[in-house]
Chain A
Amino acid sequence: MQIVAEKLNFVYNKKTKFSVKALDEVSLTIEEGDFFGIIGHTGSGKSTFIQHLNALVPVQEGILKVGEYDLSSTAKKDKKALKKLRSKVGMVFQYPEYQLFEDTVFKDVAFGYSNFFPEATKEEKSKAVCEALRLVGLDPEEYAERSPFELSGGQKRRVAIAGVIVTRPEILVLDEPVAGLDPKGKRELMKLLHLLHEKECKTIIIVSHDMDEVAENCNKVAVFSEGKIVRMGTPKDVFSDAEEIKRLRLDMPLTGYLGQTLRENGFSFDFDLTEEDFIKKLQEIKRG
């Protein structure tokens, strides 16, 4: 499913003294198969934008098409279609572990499945849940009957993600998925997202404050600032201007810094900002 947004505007608390313009003429296209990164300083409208994608936040002004679903402000609302859309566009909120509520991991993961596929048989449900748990790296034998509240933070987050991917969404949207995890947990989670990208969800969209994460994993990045998209392109394009990145109150990825330092010291260094490419280029230089 392709996502096309044109001139989206959004204002919180419209027509009151507390109104906040959260999106300002946002236009972008996310192709099927993209691993899309959204970055921007705090309050720049990232979360507001992604919640448009499954109609949790209604479009106030502008055009938004997600696959065959038209969510534009002018399109008419259809409750059935909306439910179908939400099963196709999985949304993992920030700190998703705080939305767990059932007494067993199995039941919690099954919540979304039962909501979207009320006609499914018990076997189908059980199969889907176990598969989702396996995908996020939790052995169903061991975890299915445990209470989600007695798991570690990282495990809870995996359960919450399983609860979203259990319906096999084609697009998976994650709001700061690695926030608050330790370095190992972060790496594992990103590995998991890659795995999902290959196997299950055709498109992945992540909001992140971790520039290394974005440079390493995304094939396309959009930079939000004050509700506008100020830059968009491959990580290499986006991080090419260190001054501008600083002005937007963002960081460069580590590889970007290193590359820049090397360039300033007279090396010709042109690479994709991923670790792999960085090392390849270093080896080339070493060989002369």
Chain B
Amino acid sequence: MLRDLTFGQYYPTTSFVHKLDPRTKLLLLIAYITAVFVAGNFYGLAASLLFLLIAVAFSAVPLWSVLKSVKSILFLVLFTFLLNLFFYAKKEGDTTLFWVITKEGLISALFLASRLILLVMGSSVLTLTTTPVSLTDGIESLLKPLSYIKFPVHELALIMSIALRFIPTLAEETDRIIRAQKARGGDFDSGNVFKRLKALIPILIPLLVGAFRRADELGNAMDARCYSGSKNRTKYKKLKFTFRDLIAALFTAALIAGVILLNNGAI
């Protein structure tokens, strides 16, 4: 059902990766993404995959949950793959397998698809091991320097955490409304595209009305507790780097170094 939206679904347990500072995890994810992009050959990607697998092993999250995140973008992966396969710019000396498909095109398409899969799996390790709340805390803390140029960092983080907070609520509500309308004979999975779009109205309108009602209530509740933005606000949970973060950082640095060396054929 709608409840199992895997993206951003936290996997509750304790592990080395769970206990890392969210800022570390965010920065390391950026480093990992960079490594995946920098990698110029399959050896580099293999090194990234190895890194990812070690991270998963240290996160106590079943590999299956990480793989499941790929399912949601499978279409995109396939699309990228086919596009690259058929529209590969043929060069002198390429070996044609059949029709427009060349061996080099196939390799390039596989390479891009693997890269995409690695990216999504890496991001899902972050979201599986970090609660949305600490994730936004981390983002807020990392963006803090921007507040000196009047960028509304705190407000942005607030918007994010509210949005994240309400995703499961709205998913649940959607589920309930769908069932309620089905009980009244609503039919959401037959007919042509237009019919189906029209059938969405009985779901979307109550959902929107509910979202506005909730926003209103939340605003009132925040007012009632004298919320007044970022000024003089302290945090209940302070973020702190520990020895663990250092180890993780060193480990990631090794990945980047490895990928660069592999690119140049040094190893």
Contact = CB atoms under 8 A, between A and B. Distances in A.
Interface string B172-187: 0100110111111111
B181 A86 contact: no
> Considering residues B177, B184, B185, B206, which has the most beta carbons from chain A within 10 angstroms of its beta carbon?
B184
Contact of B202 (A51, A54, A91, A111): A111
B203 to A, nearest CB: 8
Nearest to B4: A13
A163 B209 contact: no
Nearest to B202: A101
Contacts of B182: 56, 86
B214 to A, nearest CB: 11
A227 B64 CA distance: 30
A267 interface: no
A86 B185 contact: yes
Nearest to A95: B176
Contacts of A51: 179
Contacts of A100: 206
B185 A99 contact: no
Contacts of A163: 184
A47 B181 CA distance: 16
A176 to B, nearest CB: 13
Nearest to B190: A79
A83 B184 CA distance: 9
Interface string B1-20: 00110000001000000000
Interface in A82-138: 83, 86-87, 90-91, 93, 96, 98-101, 111-112, 115-116
A164 interface: yes
Nearest to B177: A99
Interface string A25-62: 00000000000000000000000000100101000000
> Considering residues A99, A100, A112, A167, which has the most beta carbons from chain B within 10 angstroms of its beta carbon?
A99
Given A93-B179, A98-B177, A111 B184 contact: yes
Given A13-B3, A93-B176, A99-B177, A86 B206 contact: no
Interface string B181-212: 11111110000000000000110011001100
B183 A54 contact: yes
B209 A93 contact: no
A16 B1 CA distance: 13
Nearest to A97: B206
A100 B180 CA distance: 10
Interface residues of A, number: 25
A275 to B, nearest CB: 33
A149 interface: yes
B30 to A, nearest CB: 29
A101 B185 contact: no
A135 B177 CA distance: 24
Given A13-B3, A13-B4, A149-B209, A99 B180 contact: yes
Contact of A56 (B3, B183, B205, B209): B183
A101 B176 contact: no
> Considering residues A13, A115, A167, which has the most beta carbons from chain B within 10 angstroms of its beta carbon?
A115
B133 to A, nearest CB: 19
Contacts of B206: 98-101
Nearest to B182: A56
Contacts of A90: 183
Nearest to B64: A16
A145 to B, nearest CB: 18
A98 B201 contact: no
A115 B205 contact: no
Given A93-B176, A93-B179, 13 more contacts: A13-B3, A16-B4, A56-B182, A98-B206, A99-B202, A100-B206, A101-B201, A111-B181, A111-B184, A111-B185, A116-B185, A164-B183, A167-B185
Closest 7 CB pairs of A and B: A115-B185, A112-B184, A101-B205, A91-B183, A99-B180, A116-B185, A93-B180
23 contacts: A13-B3, A17-B11, A51-B179, A56-B182, A83-B185, A83-B187, A86-B182, A86-B183, A86-B184, A90-B183, A91-B183, A93-B180, A96-B180, A98-B177, A99-B206, A101-B202, A101-B206, A111-B184, A112-B184, A115-B184, A115-B186, A115-B187, A163-B184
Interface of A: 13, 16-17, 51, 54, 56, 83, 86-87, 90-91, 93, 96, 98-101, 111-112, 115-116, 149, 163-164, 167
